[in-house]
Amino acid sequence: MNRDIVLWAAPMRKSNVALAICLLLQGCALVQNQQAIDASSLLIGRRRAAIMECAGIPEQVEKAGGKEIDIYWGTARHLASGVVLGEANCNVSIVFEADRVVAVNYTAVDPGILAPLESCADIVAACLP
């Protein structure tokens, strides 16, 4: 009888470890998702030069209606965001009016279910206080 318990317990330990790792990785994805959400409001009012210091030079710059839009492209690895694993892409558009941020917009390609903006965090995280 003891032998039966030992044989049954080994797979249970492995599945518990796998579950713990998945939960830990999902927690990281949720933190990154929250960073992107926070950046949408925390970057408002910052000067363009300050954004370029922390986010770098944008891949593309557009001008429309007196506004300047800096577009950053990012490719990041999804670790555990929902069911999406592998590479994910995100475009971050930072809109400036009179040299100050007025909006931060995200376009995530193939976003995760629980943390859709996870792949966007790498672009804006360095700009957060």
Whole-model pTM above 0.85? no
Q: How confident is the model at residue 81 (pLDDT cuts 50, 70, 90)?
A: very low
Q: Following DSSP, what letter does each residue of the chain receive, concatenated?
A: -HHHHHHHHHHHHHHHHHHHHHHHHHHHHHHHHHHHHHHHHHTTT-BHHHHHHHH-S-SEEEEETTEEEEEEEEEEEESSSTT--EEEEEEEEEEEETTEEEEEEEEEES--SS-TTGGGHHHHGGG--
Q: pLDDT tens digits for 6-19?
A: 444 555 565 555 44
- Domain residue spans in the chain? 2-127
- pLDDT tens track for 36-45: 889 999 999 9
Q: How many CB atoms lie within 10 A of CB 70?
A: 21
Q: Are 98 and 28 in contact (CB under 8 A)?
A: no
Question: What is the percentage of the chain residues whose pLDDT exceeds 90?
Answer: 40
Other CB atoms closer than 10 Å to residue 31's CB: what's the count? 13
